[in-house]
Structure 1
Amino acid sequence: MSDLHIRAAEPSELDAVLAFWKDAAEGTSISDDGTGMARLLARDPESLLLAECDGELAGTVIAGFDGWRCHLYRLAVHPRHRRRGVARALLAAAEERFVSLGGRRGDAMVLDRNESAHHAWRAAGYAREPQWSRWVKPL
């Protein structure tokens, strides 16, 4: 990448990130709205990492740490920038953040049907744990 830069998102960029996810992310989440994103940044201002390439938003990852566990969400790379190291750079930045906060293991939410994402996560050293299932209840 000619000019790849990773940084934390600013609250003023949340609408642009939400629009980006419509093109670059798989699926949607109940918290994919301005209110949910603003709440995330209010609680953990450096949790939403953006990758910019030549000044353009190329990718995102949410690297949330609750003081106990390190959670990765919304790893998304725009189709124009895929297979160029953007996801790898975002995950490296997220992992550095976790280590600096005292985190010991990162876990990721990955859609079962998103086979291309499975390859990316494996390449980054992550592995599925078959003994776990995600249980949810909308509030």
Structure 2
Amino acid sequence: MELITRPAAERDIDAVLAFWGKAAEGKSITDDPAGVARLIARDPEALILAERDGELVGTVIAGFDGWRCSAYRLAVHPDHRRQGIAGRLLEAAERRFRELGGRRVDAMVLEVNERAQRAWEASGYHREDHWRRWVKSL
């Protein structure tokens, strides 16, 4: 039962969206086939999947705009949590960021998702309370 990580491809879009429906906390405005297709087309290495025996068990989006590294949609299937999958996904994301010259990772994590807060902390991330993010849907 080897865990592999790999970039998502267009053929994975439906599986990723179904997976996020089960494993992710909340739905993003871009959780639709067109949104995921745009991500893959713009940055084919950004959406990283974790698979075990061909089954999708985790995801993370590792975006880099040339200035800042951003991690989104870290999710692990409920039946596969507490097995180190989130850590492996973050290792893959961080390796990508280092290869691109990134120096700092920002992650947006829902305040109400305590399980996710603990996972990020266990992976060496810390919360900076002095930053407040303002967002607008376009």
Q: After TM superposition, give the deviation of residue 137 of structure 1 in Å.
A: 1.4
Q: What is the percent sequence identity of the aligned residues?
A: 67
**Equivalent in the alignment of 2:83:** 84
**Equivalent in the alignment of 1:111:** 110
**Equivalent in the alignment of 1:137:** 136
Q: Deviations over 1:103-130 (max 9, x none)?
A: 0011111000000111100000001111
Q: After TM superposition, give the deviation of residue 91 of structure 1 in Å.
A: 0.1
Matches within 5 A, 1:51-130: 51-130=50-129
When normalised by structure 1's length, the TM-score is 0.97
Letter of the 2:122 counterpart: A
CA distance in 2, matches of 1:7, 1:129: 30
Letter of the 1:97 counterpart: R
Q: After TM superposition, give the deviation of residue 68 of structure 1 in Å.
A: 0.7
Q: After TM superposition, give the deviation of residue 97 of structure 1 in Å.
A: 0.2
Letter of the 1:109 counterpart: M
Letter of the 1:27 counterpart: G
Q: Deviations over 1:66-91 (max 9, x none)?
A: 11100000000001110001000000
**Equivalent in the alignment of 1:3:** 2
SS at the partner of 2:71? strand
Q: Tell me whether 85-94 or 128-137 shows the greater mean CA deviation.
A: 128-137
The CA RMSD measured in Å over matched residues stands at: 0.6
CA distance in 2, matches of 1:23, 1:73: 16
When normalised by structure 2's length, the TM-score is 0.98
SS at the partner of 2:129? coil
**Equivalent in the alignment of 1:40:** 39
Q: Deviations over 1:47-82 (max 9, x none)?
A: 000000121111000000011100000000001110
Unaligned runs of 5+ in 1: none
Unaligned runs of 5+ in 2: none
Letter of the 1:121 counterpart: W
